[in-house]
Amino acid sequence: MRTDDLVTMLATGAGAVPPHPVARRYVIGLGAGTLGAAVLMAMLLGPRPDLAAAIALPMFWVKTGFVVSFAAASLFPVWRLSRPGASLAWVSSVLGAPVIAIWLLAAVVLIRSDATQREVLFFGSSWNACPFLIAFLSAPVFVAAVWTMKGLAPTRLRLAGGAAGLLSGAVGAMVYSVHCTEMAAPFIAFWYMAGMLIPTAVGALLGPRLLRW
Amino acid sequence: MQRMQETDRLNAGEEKLRNLLLLGLAGDEPAYHAFLQELSAHLRAFLRKRLARLPDEVEDLVQESLLAVHNQRHTYDAGQPLTAWIHAIAKYKLIDLLRRRARRDLLTDPLDDELGLASASDAEAADARRDLGKLLTQLPERQRLPIVHMKLEGLSVAETSRLTGMSESAVKVGVHRGLKALAAMIRKDA
């Protein structure tokens, strides 16, 4: 087939592209992924038993604010990396802001607390399960994020895979925070981050293979 | 002064191409045709410069990039410079091609390609122009028939639906998936 014939073939009957095709795919993909994570959490872990009382505590909202804002922030690089040639300016600031906020809070909490208390603030009672449960809950979101991106056009596959992993980790952490009873900033600043970085690493590793188009 | 004129010319070219694409995305077929036509010349120049050592591959890659631009046209954001979008796609397909070749050469004899010049005539058979028309015939019916009737014969969705007995939405999905499958076949066979 000559190139001119290909051009004619592609143009014939091409029709209009529906409005907001990218946003639509995101809503479908990430909606399904988040729902999957929520169902997994509800079935296998369940919400924390003291949820009704916990929502009266300010620290509950600090924790929720961190996981929600970080999940929202991690949409940004995914959004950018799924379009060819889109600029990555501001990505590190957007991602960095919530992380720096929780780290600062963790540092203040550790500095102002008693030396004997610090170990409890950092390790809590679930440090050895938390990162793995976050990574586990991120799995359905990861599948959805890869599906979403693959239908667009990522051109930097390793970065794009890492971004998809980070987003799924952040949504996994958001869902996990409904189950988790830990409330200390140092715990969240370290073990939640560790949990989110597991799918990030997996995404960066598999990105070139999974996202090729 | 001369340089300024050149950027002006480039900007004017980009502006024109961008307008054609935006019209095309809104459903203006002649504008979209003109966009692809100009784009293929632009891609040819862009890829020829970067594939100087593999001139036989240029036209195949132009076609592959055109197909990629078409299949992924919904990812163009009107607020983004068009050249950045197009060059990112073309570069992506170029790197993909080089990787595919490297992998293939690894499996055969790496020395052949190291010698570059000497292998030009040997390579001819292997690199014979890929025929998209031929690849098209390998698609399953539900994708091939919609493409043949709609994209090659220029029939409408309704006419294609009547001819094939497929529903109108199945016809549209068939075209869309068929063109994506075509891109996947190119990726696998090279």
Sign of the CA dihedral running B88, A1, A150, B107: negative
Q: What pLDDT does residue B131 have?
A: 85
Least confident piece of the model among A6-20, A90-104, B80-94, B100-114? B100-114
In-domain check, residue B82: yes
Tell me the pLDDT tens digit for each residue of A31-89.
999 999 999 999 999 999 999 999 999 999 999 999 999 999 999 999 999 999 999 99
Q: Are residues B71 and B53 in the same domain?
A: yes
List, in order, residues 6 or more apart from B161 with CB less than 8 Å away: B167, B168, B170, B171
Q: Are residues B110 and B150 in the same domain?
A: no
Buried b / exposed e over B45-71, threshold 16 CB at 10 Å, is ebbeeebeebeebbbbbbbbbbbbbbb
Q: What is the mean pLDDT of residues A152-164?
A: 97
CATH of the domain at B184: 1.10.10.10
Distance CA A95, CA A185 (A): 18
Q: Are residues B108 and B135 in the same domain?
A: no
In-domain check, residue B6: no
Q: What pLDDT does residue A186 have?
A: 96
The C-alpha angle with vertex B183 and arms to B180 and B189, in degrees rounded to 5, equals 140
B79/A contact by beta carbon, under 8 A: no
The residue to which tokens 């191409």 are assigned: B17
Above pLDDT 70, what percent of chain A? 100
Question: Are B156 and A13 inside 8 Å of each other by CB?
Answer: yes
Tell me the pLDDT tens digit for each residue of B46-71.
999 998 888 888 999 999 999 999 99
In-domain check, residue B4: no
B163/A contact by beta carbon, under 8 A: no
Q: Domain range holding B165? A: 130-190
Of A123, A11, A62, A141, nearest to B152 (Cα)? A11
Encoding tokens for residue B74? 């919904």
B133/A contact by beta carbon, under 8 A: yes
Low-confidence ranges of chain B (pLDDT < 70): 1-10, 108-129, 189-190
Amino acid type, A35: L
In-domain check, residue B109: yes
Distance CA B2, CA A175 (A): 59
Distance CA B148, CA B182 (A): 13
Q: To the nearest whole angstrom, how far is the Cα of B62 from the nearest Cα of chain A?
A: 8
CB atoms within 10 A of CB A168: 34
In-domain check, residue B7: no
Provide the domain count of chain B: 2
Q: Are residues B20 and B82 in the same domain?
A: yes
Q: Are residues B186 and B164 in the same domain?
A: yes
Q: Are residues B153 and B115 in the same domain?
A: no
In this complex, which of B59, B72, B154 lies closest to A153 when CB atoms are compared? B72
Q: What pLDDT does residue B190 have?
A: 57
Q: Are residues B139 and B153 in the same domain?
A: yes
Q: What pLDDT does residue B110 have?
A: 52
Q: To the nearest whole angstrom, how far is the Cα of A155 from the nearest Cα of chain B?
A: 6
In this complex, which of B67, B150, B183 lies closest to A12 when CB atoms are compared? B150
Q: How many Cβ pairs closer than 8 A exist between chain A and B?
A: 107
Q: Are residues B125 and B136 in the same domain?
A: no
ipTM of the complex: 0.88
Q: Are residues B49 and B60 in the same domain?
A: yes
Question: Are A22 and B74 inside 8 Å of each other by CB?
Answer: yes
Q: Give the domain-ending residue among B105, B129, B153.
A: B129
Q: Are residues B123 and B140 in the same domain?
A: no
CATH of the domain at B34: 1.10.1740
Q: Are residues B154 and B118 in the same domain?
A: no
Distance CA A145, CA A154 (A): 12
Q: Give the domain-ending residue among B79, B106, B129.
A: B129
Q: Give the domain-ending residue among B82, B109, B129.
A: B129
Q: Are residues B74 and B43 in the same domain?
A: yes
